Amino acid sequence: MSVGEALRNSSNHSNTTEGVTTNTTKSDIKTSHNVAVSTEIKDEIAHSTKTDTALEQRLKCDYLVVGAGTTGMSFVDTILTENSKATIILVDKNNNPGGHWTKAYDFVQLHQPSCTYGVNSLPLGKNRFGRERWDLDDRASKSEILNYYQTVLEKFQATGRVRSFFGATYEYNECRNVHTIRFGTRGSTGDADKDSMNTMNTKRTAITVEITCRKVVTSGASIITPSMREPLIPVHETIASNFVPVNEVTSRIASGRYKKYIIFGNGKTSIDAITHMLGDNDIDPSQITWITSREAWFLVTEPFRVVHKSMRTIANRVLSSKSVKETFLGLEKDGLMARIDDSLDTFPEVFRRASVNRKQLEQVRFIKNIVRLGKATSIGPHTIHLERGSLDFSVPDTLLVDCMVDNSYGYASFDNSFQTFEPNRINLGPLFGFLNISLSAAIVAFLECSFGDTTRNGETEETILRKQNDCCWLLTGDCACSPESLVGMLYMEAKYTEALMKTVPGAIKFLMQSRLNMNAPMHHKHGTLKLLWNMIGPPQLYKFPQKLIQKVESGGYTDIDHCFGAETHHHAVNESVATKTSSSMLVANEEHNTARINKINNFHNTGKSYETLVLSCN
C-alpha cells in the first residue's frame, strides 16, 4: 500500500493492514510526547488536497532509524553533525524516546558517569567550569535520562531534517523489500508491545505506511527488563500477585503488607533492589532472602575516580597474567573487581560489566540468607523450586521480587556473523571496545559519513561496506557475559582504534573531541597533558594496544582459545583459514606458530607490521 493509499484509507475509517481489515479514526494516530509531529501527521491525513507525491516525499528519507534508545539517538545525532544534508525518520514503538530506560525502575541510575553517556552534541553530566568533568558521583537517574532524551529529540526536530514517529512499529516485508511503519492505537497499558497486541486483537490497528529510505538503521540489542515481560518461570496463580517486577518494589514496601522479601537474580538490578530496600526503606537484612543462581564479578567504581590510573592497573594485570582467571584474581587484589562473597572457593563465571560501589558491596554483604541452589524453575503456592532444591515461603506476607535480567543487557544477542554495515542497512547494538555503547553508535554514524557515498570515489558499494566493517571490531557471541569479555572489550578497543586511525581521516579528532569517549581530554583535569603523560610518559600506555593484540592473537591466555569472533567474521576474508586459526589457538609449537602468523596475516589483511607478527611468535 502506498502512503497515499494508506492515508486515504485512514480517512475512510477503514483500512487493510497485513490482511487484517481494520477500522481507523484519525485520532488513532498518536505520537504522544511529540505534539508537533502528531498534529502534522493528522493534518496530512485530514488534508486530502495534498497530492500523493507530496505525501510520499514526506515519508522519504536517507536514514530510517528504528528505535529511539541510546544507540538510535546517538547514531542520529552524529549523522546530523557529520552530514549537513541527510534526512532522517526516527520511529519507536514506545511513546517516548529513551528505549529501555522508559521501562526501568525508578531508583535506577547510570552505572557510569553521565559525562560519557547519551549523544555527542548535548551534555548529560553536570557542567563544571564550562566542562563536563568525569565524576563518578554524577550518574543520571531515570527521570534525568528521559528528560535528556526528550531534549535531544527536540534538538533533532529543530534541524528540520528529522521526523519522529512514536507509538509506531517498524516492519520489514522481505518479499517485497518494503519498509513500513504501523501506527497502532494506544491502549491503556502504556506498553507498546502489549498495546500492539491489544489493537490487533480488537482489530483497531490504525494504518501502515511505507517509508522510502536509502538505509534502514536498527538496534538488535533486545534489552528485556523484568517489567517488559511475563515471569520467566511458571508462577502458581494463587501467588501471582506476590511475584512482581523490580519496578514495583517501592510501592509494595509502602503498602506495609510484607514482612519478608525474596530477591531473584544475581546482577546489578538485584543489587540495586537490595540497596534500595536497605538504604532507602529501612528494611532489615534479615527480612531479605536472595536467590543467586551463579556468582558474578562486579567492577568496583571507586578506583575509577582516577580513570587513567585504574586503566593502567587493568592494563598491567591483563598483560602480566597468563589467564583470565589470574587477571580477575589480580584485579580483585587491586580493589577493582569484586564478588559478593569472596570466601567461596568457586571462581565466578559471570561478568556482565555491572558496577557497584563499596557502600553497596558492604550493604549486600549484610544479607546472610543467600540461596545458592541454582536457578529458580517454578514457583508453587508456598514453595520456590530451584535446580538443586527448594525454598518454602509464607503467604501472603512475602514479596517475591523479579530482578532477573538475561543476556548482559542485550550485548550477548549478537552472534559472530554479525555485520554492522550491510547493503541498505546498518545494524547497531554491540559494543566497540570498553563500556561505551553511546560512543559505539556514534562511531558507526561517523563511519557512515566518512565512507557512505559510493559514488564519490567511484568505489563499489561492496568495497565501501568492507572498509566500513573493517573498522568495526565488536564483542559478540557467548563470551559477552563471561570474565573473558574484559579482555575481549580491551582487544576490540585496540583493534577498532587502530583500524580507525589507519583508514579514516579525522578519526583521531573525532574520538578526542567526543564527549562520549571517557579518555577525551575534556573530561579530565589537565586533560591533554594527563593523556600525553599516560600515553608517552613513564606509564607507556601507547604500547598497551599492540601488546594486547599480540597476546590475544598468539594464544597468550591459557583459558581463551579464540579471537573473540574476529577470526570468523571479520573482513569476511578466508573463513576456513580463520576457523582453523581459532581452534588451534592453544597449540604452541614453532611450526604451528609460523603457520598461524601467515593465517592471521591473511585474514587481517590490514598491513599489520612485520614487527608485530614476529612478536606474536614468542
- Residues 553 and 557: their CA atoms lie apart, in Å, by 10
Q: CA-CA distance, 231 to 461, in Å (whole number)?
A: 45
Q: Tell me the three cell numbers of residue 204.
A: 483497531
Per rule CB under 6 A, is residue 69 in the interface with ligand FAD?
yes
265 binds ligand FAD (CB under 6 A): no
In this structure, are residues 260 and 287 in contact, taking their beta carbons and an 8 Å threshold? Answer: yes
Q: Which of the residues 482 through 511 are near ligand FAD (CB under 6 A)? A: none
Regarding 94 and contact with ligand FAD (CB under 6 A), the answer is yes
Check binding of 71 to ligand FAD (CB under 6 A).
Answer: yes
Ranges within 512-541 binding ligand FAD (CB under 6 A): none
CB of 267 to ligand FAD, least distance (A): 9
Strands 60-66 and 207-219: parallel
Count residues binding ligand FAD (CB under 6 A).
31
- The answer to whether residue 245 forms part of the interface with ligand FAD (CB under 6 A) is no
Whether the CA torsion 460, 463, 466, 470 is positive or negative: it is negative
Taking alpha carbons only, the member of 202, 207, 163 closest to residue 184 is 207
Among 104, 314, 500, 563, binds ligand FAD (CB under 6 A): 104
Interacting stretch for ligand FAD, rule CB under 6 A, among 68-76, 303-311, 573-581, 609-617? 68-76
Segment near ligand FAD (CB under 6 A); pick from 57-65, 152-160, 217-225, 315-323: 217-225
Question: How many Å apart are CA 505 and CA 446, to the nearest integer?
Answer: 11
What is the C-alpha to C-alpha distance for residues 358 and 125, in angstroms, rounded to an integer?
22
User: Residue 61 interacts with ligand FAD (CB under 6 A)?
Assistant: no
Of residues 191-210, those binding ligand FAD (CB under 6 A): 192
Q: Are 551 and 557 in contact (CB under 8 A)?
A: yes
Instruction: Specify the residue, 107 or 564, whose C-beta has the smaller distance to ligand FAD.
Output: 107
Choose the stretch contacting ligand FAD; rule: CB under 6 A; options: 22-30, 61-69, 233-241, 245-253: 61-69
Q: Find the binding residues for ligand FAD in span 427-456 (CB under 6 A).
A: 429, 435, 437
87 in contact with ligand FAD (CB under 6 A): no
Using the minimum distance from each CB to ligand FAD, give the nearer residue, 71 or 582: 71
Q: Does 565 bind ligand FAD (CB under 6 A)?
A: no
Residues with Cβ < 8 Å from 453, sequence gap 6 or more?
none
Q: Determine if 96 is a binding residue for ligand FAD (CB under 6 A).
A: no
Determine contact, residues 227/105, Cβ cutoff 8 Å.
yes
Taking the C-alpha atoms of residue 420 and residue 413, their distance in angstroms, rounded to an integer, is: 14
Question: Can you tell me which of 80, 91, 262, 541 binds ligand FAD, judged by CB under 6 A?
Answer: 91
Q: How open is the CA angle 37-38-42, to the nearest 5 degrees? A: 115
State which of residues 15, 87, 169, 497 lies at the interface with ligand FAD (CB under 6 A).
169
DSSP letter for each residue of 505-528? TTHHHHHHH-TT-TT-GGGSTTHH
CB of 162 to ligand FAD, least distance (A): 15
72 is an interface residue for ligand FAD by CB under 6 A? yes
199 and 187 in contact (C-beta within 8 Å)? yes
Which residue from 4, 99, 265, 452 is in contact with ligand FAD, where contact means CB under 6 A? 99
DSSP 126: P
Distance CA 68, CA 146 (A): 11
Provide the binding-site residues for ligand FAD, judged by CB under 6 A. 66-72, 91-94, 99-100, 104, 108, 110-112, 117, 169-170, 192, 219, 221, 223, 225, 409-410, 429, 435, 437
